[in-house]
Amino acid sequence: MTRHHIALVPGDGIGTEVLPPAQQVLDTVGARHGIAFSYTSYDWSCERYLREGAMMPPDGLDQLREKDAILLGAVGYPGVPDHVSLWGLLIPIRRGFRQYVNLRPIRVFEGVDSPLRGAAAHEVEFVVVRENVEGEYSEIGGRLNRGTPEEIAVQEAVFTRAGVTRVLDFAFDLAARRGGVLTSATKSNGIVHTMPFWDELVAERATVHPQVSWDQEHIDALAAKFVLGPARFDVVVASNLFGDILSDLAAAVAGSIGIAPAANLNPERTHPSMFEPVHGSAPDIAGRGIANPLGAVWSAAMMLDHLGHPAAAKDVTDAIAAVLAKTDVRTPDLGGIATTAEFTDKLLELL
């Protein structure tokens, strides 16, 4: 019996509704594969911020440090600015635990009505590897002459050789294990310092991974191709900002943001990695018991994979594929009438 201790951070809104289904799936599939999970739950959230002035306690990272992984629901609350939840919880965890890879698989499941038309839709199956700790999301910068006609805002992007190299190596390695094709997102025609640096490092790392064929695309053209011809992609690697935008675009193209998962990985395993659905707290449907749990469930499958249980992970993604392809039980975001609990029960039955 393998044991794992998981930190649960349900967060706000539907985050608290989609984590219990993920936990049920973990316990069910764990029982079959000889994996026992124990959990510690944390109430870190925007609600906590409103009550106590901080998303998490000052020793928050220390409380998580010894856990095997973190499963997060979603954070966000009407009236609390997004940067509070981002800089008060997500970014400290990502940076503090060196989760420098954000991995987002994209798959158009049979039985999901994607905005993509035609037979090729179901051939879409690729991953976006986003640099997760540096680049454009930087605190360096500021504003001058506030409120005057001469006002200036400056925001610096910071790319380091070590930081770019390690995420590129992760992406090349992943491409070598998958279809052997890597696409790098760039914008070196307009962004004339950081992006040429990124491109040079891609070319350099390519020589270390000769089994992978690679190309690069400007971010604008790449965004268009995500919509017009996504079946050709295998692994797409991008900086923090470009990867953020591309992966939300890809999740929307795949049919529903309620299905898309994400992993914030510490590839060296020196600290816990964090798994979270791509969607937010969805205040418009929170509390009604109709949230789609699949994004959280798929995130839990990515966690299983990371913890060394690929067969258990595949059981979960197979069950997701089956519930979508073989039944018409689904939540309203996918055109159904099922509640979160009914959808979860069907999924557990197929699992």
14 contributes a contact to ligand ATP by CB under 6 A: yes
Q: Which amino acid is at 26?
A: L
Give the pairing type, strands 69-74 and 273-277: parallel
Nearer to ligand ATP, 184 or 299 (CB): 299
Beta-strand relationship, 69-74 and 2-11: parallel
Which one of the spans 149-157, 207-215, 230-238, 282-290 is the region binding ligand ATP (CB under 6 A)? 282-290
Residue 282 interacts, among ligand ATP, Mg ion, none and using kind-specific CB cut-offs from 5 to 8 Å, with: ligand ATP
255 or 280: CB nearest Mg ion? 280
Residue 282 binds ligand ATP (CB under 6 A)? yes
Choose the stretch contacting Mg ion; rule: CB under 5 A; options: 6-14, 26-34, 50-58, 273-281: 273-281
The sign of the torsion formed by the CA atoms of 199, 214, 242, 297 equals negative
Closest approach of ligand ATP to the CB of residue 140, in Å: 25
Residue from the set 194, 281, 317, 344 that interacts with ligand ATP by CB under 6 A: 281
Q: Is 25 in the site for ligand ATP (CB under 6 A)?
A: no
280 binds Mg ion (CB under 5 A): yes
Rounded Cα gap, residues 284 and 93, in angstroms: 27
| 56 is a site residue for ligand ATP (CB under 6 A) | no
Q: Which are the contacts of 229, defined by CB distance < 8 A and separation ≥ 6?
A: 120
Over its C-alpha atoms, the chain yields an Rg (Å, rounded) of: 20
Chain positions 304 to 333 lying near ligand ATP, rule: CB under 6 A, are 331, 333
Q: Within 238-277, which residues bind ligand ATP (CB under 6 A)?
A: 257-258
Of 183-191, 289-297, 298-306, 308-316: span binding ligand ATP (CB under 6 A):
289-297
Nearer to ligand ATP, 180 or 332 (CB): 332
Q: What's the full length of the chain, in residues?
A: 351
Residue number, 262 or 291, with CB nearest to ligand ATP: 291
The burial class, CB within 10 Å (0-12 / 13-18 / 19+), for 220 is exposed
CB-CB contact of 70 with 7 (8 Å) = yes
Other beta carbons less than 10 A from residue 95's beta carbon: 15
Q: Tell the burial category of 144 from Cβ atoms under 10 Å away from its Cβ (0-12, 13-18, 19+).
A: exposed
Q: Which two tokens stand for residue 268?
A: 């060296």
| Candidate residues 10, 30, 60, 76; the one interacting with ligand ATP per rule CB under 6 A | 76
Instruction: Tell me which of Mg ion, ligand ATP, none is bound by residue 324, counting a contact when its beta carbon lies within the kind-specific cut-off of 5 to 8 angstroms.
Output: none
Q: Please report which residue ranges of 114-160 form alpha helices under DSSP H.
A: none
Q: Which partner, Mg ion, ligand ATP, none, binds residue 258 by CB below 5 to 8 Å per kind?
A: ligand ATP
| Smallest separation (angstroms) from Mg ion to the CB of 279 | 8
Three-state SS at 250: helix
Cα dihedral sign for 29, 32, 33, 39?
positive
Residues engaged in binding Mg ion (CB under 5 A): 280
Residues engaged in binding ligand ATP (CB under 6 A): 14, 18, 74, 76, 82, 257-258, 279-282, 284-285, 291-292, 295, 331, 333
